[in-house]
Structure 1
Amino acid sequence: MDTDGTTPSRSPSRRTLIGGAGALALGASTLARPGAAHAQQTVTRNETGTHEGFFYSFWTDGVGSVAMTLTSGGSYSTRWSEAGSFLCGKGWSTGSRRTVTWSGDYRPTGDSFLCLYGWSTNPLVEYHVVDSYGARPPIGAHQGSFSSDGATYDLHVTMRHNAVSVEGIRSYPQFWSVNQSRRTSGTIDTGAHFDAWADAGMRLGHLSHYMILATEGYLGSGTSALRVS
């Protein structure tokens, strides 16, 4: 239920490339043609839009095969094969302190994440709340741990330099909450993560850009079938 309120086995270099996919997803999708709402539609080119009351975003670097099928409500499925870098998902056109419930099936090979994903501006920050993954990433400086909604998350911060963002080519931090164990469903209290990041000195700006339950990947294959509410 949407309850809006106020506003360690992969190389670091590979992890940085995945983060670049997230940044590029915003840069590409904000220029794309919005999609129209239909009961079901399959997306294979870079675009954003709305579908059955939910915002969606799809971006791929064009390597391999990636497709997202938008289904009823907050549901979508993704299939990728020998893909380069991609990020797609469903959610909301702006971020906020909300309780996000998700469930579904997620079967990746290679580097991939199932995460709540978004941006803030002023300051510019790209953020991820990772609830499952293909291989646990060694991502940046560890900023502590905290527990929320039955899970324990490790907090990390990384930096992107001269990378594509929602404000063009910029340098900016990436904030991470990474679940210490994988799960197949869950609840994410975004406010709890925002507060934990702030307590660790990681402060977001204005949540004026989208927040989605994302399937993200780099150099791999897999499938996902997810639902967010």
Structure 2
Amino acid sequence: MLGSTLVLALSAVAGVFASPLELIQRNEEHAEKRGIQPGQGNHNGWFYSYWTDGRGYIDYNNNAGGSYSVSWQNVGNFVGGKGWNPGSATRNVTYSGQWNAINQNSYVALYGWTRNPLIEYYVVESWGTYNPSSGSQRLGTVYSDGSTYDIYRTQRVNQPSIDGTSTFYQFWSVRQQKRVGGTINVKAHFDAWESSGLRLGTNHNYQILATEGYGSSGYASITVY
């Protein structure tokens, strides 16, 4: 839409309207600048996952090794990053990077899924204007890697999941002292969740160091090691 409008406006100024073929070619060039298409796969020895609801502008790119970058403008919802498939309950995840969305609805988190039961989980390292666990009851805390994390559980009803539209629980550890970079002791969070009555599934799906945005704009460049 934006590409077509811009082409027509420039053509009108020049006194010549672009042909339909030119519009298609220019739109394809614009689309290429948006990075890879949403999906999952392997890149440079790392698993990646990138999902969007299709609203707004998102430019997600897989870079060398465990690195990725993403810029977004006026999005609905997206989440993307690199990591592993399957995930692990005992992994130490070390990462570094930049995240320019402090005044936006966005967060950087270790993000993953399990089955049996279906659970979506987050270890939130940094968040902007909205705490993603707002409105839910705090079930406990865990101290790990230099900060206290608050533990929450929320439920999603008839929402997108790795098994299509489903109803499932979300488990959260939300870091009080925000950071972008460091090591996440995954086992510490999983053990704390179980102690709080939150049991993950027995079948681990993917586990990535993700950037997520909702109704926001921003930029992130993250490397997982």
TM-score (norm 2): 0.80
1:136-147 → structure 2 map (5 Å cutoff): 136-137=130-131, 138-147=134-143
Residues 43 and 57 (structure 1 numbering): CA distance in 2 closer, same or farther, change over 3 Å?
farther
- Matched to 2:65, the amino acid is G
Report deviation, 1:210.
0.4
CA RMSD of aligned residues (A): 1.5
- Matched to 1:85, the amino acid is N
Report deviation, 1:139.
4.8
| CA–CA distance in structure 1, aligned partners of residues 51 and 135 of structure 2 | 22
Match of 2:73 among 60, 76, 81: 81
C-alpha contact (below 8 Å) 2:116/2:203 kept by paired residues: no
Render the CA deviation track for 1:78-110: whole Å, top value 9, x for unaligned.
101111110100000111020000111001142
TM-score (norm 1): 0.79
C-alpha contact (below 8 Å) 1:95/1:207 kept by paired residues: no
Which residue in 1 is equivalent to 2:188?
A: 192
Count of residues paired in the alignment: 189
Where do 5+ consecutive residues of structure 2 fail to align? 1-32
| CA–CA distance in structure 2, aligned partners of residues 184 and 169 of structure 1 | 31
Where do 5+ consecutive residues of structure 1 fail to align? 1-40
Which residue in 1 is equivalent to 2:92?
A: 99
Structure 1 segments, 4+ long, off by >3 Å, are 41-44
Which residue in 1 is equivalent to 2:18?
A: none
| CA–CA distance in structure 2, aligned partners of residues 87 and 64 of structure 1 | 13
Larger Rg belongs to: 2
| CA–CA distance in structure 2, aligned partners of residues 136 and 154 of structure 1 | 15
Q: Which deviates more from structure 2 when the two are superposed, residues 130-139 or residues 99-108?
A: 130-139
| CA–CA distance in structure 1, aligned partners of residues 49 and 124 of structure 2 | 18
Match of 1:47 among 30, 34, 39: 39
| CA–CA distance in structure 2, aligned partners of residues 47 and 165 of structure 1 | 13
Which residue in 1 is equivalent to 2:12?
A: none
Q: Identity rate of aligned residues, in percent?
A: 46
Looking at secondary structure, tell me which structure has more strand per residue.
1
| CA–CA distance in structure 1, aligned partners of residues 39 and 115 of structure 2 | 21
| CA–CA distance in structure 1, aligned partners of residues 36 and 110 of structure 2 | 21
Residues 139 and 87 (structure 1 numbering): CA distance in 2 closer, same or farther, change over 3 Å?
farther
